[in-house]
Each structure stands twice: as C-alpha cells, then as structure tokens.
Structure 1
C-alpha cells in the first residue's frame, strides 16, 4: 500500500516490519481470508474456535538495540495458530513456536493479553465464514 509515498504511512519509519493493520488485511484478503477485530467487551467464550484459522494480536513490546533495552514501547504483531489440536504462539521474537495448549488455555492466553490493555485481537477466518457469521456464538 502506497509504495511510492515517503514516508509510507503503512509501515514503520525504520522499515522494521511493524506494518499498519491495513497491510495485514489486504494480504489476507488476497488469500480469501478476513481479519475480524475482536470487541474486548465480549466474552471470548463466544468465539467458535472451529471456524477460526488463527489469531493476530497487536501488543505493546519493548525496544532493544543489541543487548540494551530502551525505555520505549511500540506495537508488535503476534500470530497464534492451531496445529493438531494445540494452539501455538508464533511470535517472531521467540526462538521457536511456543505451545499454548488447547481451547481453554488459548482463551486464557488471549484474555491475559487483552487484560494488559493497549492490545488488539483479530480473528482470521475464511471470507465465507465471515459472511455467514458462524465464527460467533449468539448471546
């Protein structure tokens, strides 16, 4: 998005990959997927996990330069995906994917991030699931 605009409003000034949510949504759309913003006022029990392909979290993260930690915070994207019944934290800052556990552990993991504040959660679903609304249990 806006590749010839300087500075590009859809990525960080340093080009370190902290892309604007519009870039992520456009990339998913090209794959027939949709990122749905999760309203924090809802209970995570309403999410029909069998209809969700994964989660993208935008979370506050510390800034480091080599071994030095700077007194700054910036937003960071984290992906979560299920594989053979286990959900994994695919944060690029981790050495390797970290198992979260099953559905109950995933809901706790997501709630912990949401409770920290300044965190956003997006559900990644196929476009047909979004259109049918089958990713959300009725209240």
Structure 2
C-alpha cells in the first residue's frame, strides 16, 4: 500500500485488512490556503495549537529580516508556502531536532524509537475546478505513529490514512523517497533533541 493516495493501488488497498481495534484519536489538520507546512507541523505534534500562521511568519521574518524576496518561500500575503528552513527552525523552537534525510540512504537506518514523525515535501498538482493546471507545486505532508500504528496525515486527505507497523512505514518512506520525491523534495525526520 502506498502512503501517498495518488500513488496507491486500489486493488491492493481494498484487500488490505485494517486493524481490528478501535482506531486511536488522531489530530488531523485539513488543508487551508498554502499552509501545508503549518498543517504538517501541527499534525506531527498532534496539536492544533503547536504552531500558528503568525508563528511561522515570525520564523520566516527572523530567517530573512530585511528582504521582500527570499529563498525561504512564502506568499507575499503571508498565506504560507514555507520551505524546509522554516520547518526546521519551527521544530527547533519546540526543542526538537530536524534531520534532512538523504534519499540515497537506506530507510532501515532510521532509528524509529528516536523519531516523532516525518515531514515530506512532495510534488503536487494545482487544480482549478476539474482542470489540472500545468504548474509545478510542492506540498508538505506528515507521517507519524499514533497508538502503535503509522498514519499518513496529509492535510489534503479527508481522514488519516492507516499505513501499518514499522515494516510498512519503512516501505512507505522508501516508496516516497524512491518514486515521488524524484526532484529531491526534502524529507525531514523529526526527533527529540
């Protein structure tokens, strides 16, 4: 099963047995504007108050105080579109370490006991109604463990997508790194400092 909904195999996912226990309570923030970095951060912390748009704007301004055009992407109206530098600085404000994962490394090297979650940057289409526009976009998603299982907490999903245990997570992350992040989209592994 792919942890990226548009990459999944319907036949595979329909035959997949879901856990029998009642699902845990999962915080899943939904997509607004270009705030996917905010949603990914709040989803990884499982707290809608972990960060606000204003908090990320302050971090952005601190990283690039005297310039209107910066390498730390954002919309000019403060509606989001933040890059990995803003995400990494935001994690540091909460005492967490962010590690930029090199997709050439084997995912079996990730010490999952030290990982709070994954924040991955994936290619995304921009749609206007039923039309898919030919613009290259990026989208931040969160994958993390909740209640003993891993979930895709992509803010574009209607609800969290169950991935499974550690082996399924490693397959999912390897799949994303190997096929979806073809343009070198960053993957941030979030762990305690």
* Fold match by TM threshold 0.5: yes
**From 72, 75, 78, the counterpart of 1:10:** 72
Q: CA deviation at 1:34?
A: 1.3
TM-aligned CA distance change 1:52 to 1:62, over 3 Å: same
Q: CA deviation at 1:72?
A: 1.9
State the alpha-carbon separation in 2 of the partners of residues 108 and 73 from structure 1. 26
- Give 1 or 2: higher strand fraction: 1
Aligned-residue Cα RMSD (Å) equals 1.8
- The 3-state SS of whatever aligns with 1:6 is coil
State the alpha-carbon separation in 2 of the partners of residues 7 and 77 from structure 1. 21
State the alpha-carbon separation in 1 of the partners of residues 66 and 154 from structure 2. 29
State the alpha-carbon separation in 2 of the partners of residues 9 and 47 from structure 1. 29
State the alpha-carbon separation in 2 of the partners of residues 88 and 45 from structure 1. 18
Gaps of 5+ in 2: 1-59
- 1:121 matched to which residue of 2? 187
- TM-score normalised by length of structure 1: 0.82
Residues 19-49 of structure 1: CA deviation (Å, up to 9, x unaligned): 0111111111010001101122211111111
TM-aligned CA distance change 1:83 to 1:59, over 3 Å: same
> Aligned pair count?
127
Q: CA deviation at 1:9?
A: 4.1
Gaps of 5+ in 1: 128-139
- Give 1 or 2: higher helix fraction: 2
Q: CA deviation at 1:78?
A: 0.7
- 1:36 matched to which residue of 2? 99
- 2:43 matched to which residue of 1? none
Q: CA deviation at 1:17?
A: 2.3
Describe how 1:1-139 pairs up with structure 2 within 5 A. Answer: 1-2=60-61, 5-7=67-69, 9-13=71-75, 15-116=78-179, 117-118=182-183, 119-127=185-193
